[in-house]
Amino acid sequence: MLWTLCVTEIISWGVLYYAFTVLSHRISTDTGWSAPMVTAAFSAGLVTSAVVGIPIGRWLDRIGPRWLMTSGSALGALAIVAVVGAPTYPWFVGAWVFAGVAMSMVFYAPAFAALTRFFDARAIGALTVLTLVAGFSSTVFAPLTAALEHGLGWRRAYLVLAAVLATITVPAHFFGLRRPWPTVDSEHHAETPTATARSGAFLALVAAFALAGLASYAVIANLVPLMDQRGIDTGAAALALGIGGAGQVLGRLGYQVLVRRVGVMPRTVVVMAGVAATTGLLGVFSGYAALVAVVIGAGVMRGIMTLLQATAVSERWGTTHYGHLSALLNAPIMIATAVGPFVGAALASLLGGYSAMFVALGVIAVVGALLAVVTAPPAL
């Protein structure tokens, strides 16, 4: 089951997310829609994924991942076909909205819920393996998509990718996730998810992750423009961004050591403070070597954040309502991911440059770290 999810997460992220980052410019050129219009449609899909993920999480707690993830794979393939065939911009936006529904059913949230319930006490090891393997999605699908587009054009490239999504992930989810959904066996007191979601600790946790996520993902979208303002050429900037991806792997590899040595709440504070520090320092340093070092540190923090988010609910409130509560936690983070590039660009314009923007985002992440101090429920 773990290796099934490793394969399907690589493909799902590659087709539904990373392929767009490669093809968006070609889509804009071919259709005549501006780059912001094309990106806004994709962002609408991400926001839809965040919102729809909440009821998906509720259903997941009740019935398990098999039928939800199988249906999501089929819907994702159909949505990509709709994107390709969109005759008008409203149709294009609508296709990405449906793709967003599929994302909520096949991305990390349901996979994390499945591993948390199936592996129980061994979940951190399984989650680490999944995020390590799935982290290579962009490594595989960015060049693959570029090669397909070069030979076939963006429309046929997307159709090939949709076929890959349908022919591999639909049967993989159907057969690979066929184990009975296990009953919950937890030492945590399982209060109602509504009561937990309204608690001060949970609301602080949601706000902390949203602010840290906003800063963390704005780094990805705005690092190249920052380096461009510093006189660093695009190729070197792109290399630095890629090296940051290696930092994510390092962070995920070391997460189990961090879990053994640092408690739940202090760990959350330390990681979010690390996000704040690395984000702010990108606005302070100007030398290429120093920037690369900080980018690696930011990647480490981003890699840890993925696993920190995956375990945040189970370590505080158990696994009984993991799907529902994780969806509530994930929704603001997904929205922050969607608006992060726009927020970063707007702050850069408002503050007169990307250096000041990164410092401001660092301050925003500091607020997240401070909120993390009060994310421990009374029983913890």
Q: How far apart are CA 284 and CA 358, in angstroms?
A: 8
Q: How far apart are CA 118 and CA 180, in angstroms?
A: 9
The most confident of the ranges 42-51, 127-136, 220-229, 327-336 is 42-51
The most confident of the ranges 58-62, 219-223, 294-298, 329-333 is 294-298
What's the rounded mean pLDDT across residues 11-27?
89
CA proximity to 84, closest of 133, 140, 146, 19? 19
List pLDDT tens digits, range 89-107: 999 999 999 999 999 999 9
Contacts of 126 (CB under 8 A, 6+ apart): 2, 115, 118, 119
Shared domain check, 322 and 205: yes
Give 188's DSSP letter: S
List pLDDT tens digits, range 192-210: 778 888 888 999 999 999 9
Q: How many domains are contained in the chain?
A: 2
Shared domain check, 224 and 84: no
CA dihedral 194, 195, 197, 201 (to 10 degrees): 180
Question: Would you say residue 184 lies in a domain?
Answer: no
Which CATH number goes with the domain that contains 151? 1.20.1250.20
Q: How far apart are CA 127 and CA 116, in angstroms?
A: 8
Shared domain check, 285 and 165: no
Q: Are 295 and 281 in contact (CB under 8 A)?
A: no
Q: How far apart are CA 161 and CA 154, in angstroms?
A: 10
Amino acid residing at 300: V
Task: Give residue 190's pLDDT band: very low, low, confident or very high (50, 70, 90).
Answer: low
Lowest mean pLDDT among 109-113, 233-237, 306-310: 233-237
Question: Would you say residue 182 lies in a domain?
Answer: no
Amino acid residing at 51: V
Shared domain check, 250 and 152: no
Shared domain check, 365 and 275: yes
Backbone angles phi, psi at 353, to 5 degrees: 160, 165
Q: How far apart are CA 154 and CA 19, in angstroms?
A: 10
Shared domain check, 336 and 254: yes
Contacts of 173 (CB under 8 A, 6+ apart): 4, 8, 65, 66, 69, 70, 72, 73, 106
Shared domain check, 210 and 131: no
Q: How far apart are CA 93 and CA 80, in angstroms?
A: 12
Show the DSSP H helices in 137-199 as ranges: 137-152, 154-164, 170-176, 193-197
Shared domain check, 17 and 160: yes
Give 121's DSSP letter: G
Q: Which domain holds residue 248?
A: 193-372
Task: Give residue 177's pLDDT band: very low, low, confident or very high (50, 70, 90).
Answer: very high
Shared domain check, 335 and 219: yes
Q: How far apart are CA 338 and CA 345, in angstroms?
A: 13
At 160 the pLDDT is 97
Question: Would you say residue 185 lies in a domain?
Answer: no
At 185 the pLDDT is 55
Question: Would you say residue 7 lies in a domain?
Answer: yes
Shared domain check, 275 and 163: no
Question: Would you say residue 187 lies in a domain?
Answer: no
Q: How many CA atoms lie within 13 A of 218 on its CB side?
A: 35
CA proximity to 43, closest of 105, 104, 96? 96
Q: Are 301 and 275 in contact (CB under 8 A)?
A: yes
Q: How far apart are CA 294 and CA 299, in angstroms?
A: 9
- In this prediction, what percent of the chain has a pLDDT beyond 70? 97
Question: Would you say residue 132 lies in a domain?
Answer: yes
Question: Would you say residue 115 lies in a domain?
Answer: yes
Question: Would you say residue 314 lies in a domain?
Answer: yes
Q: How long, in residues, is the chain? A: 380
Q: How many CA atoms lie within 13 A of 113 on its CB side?
A: 33
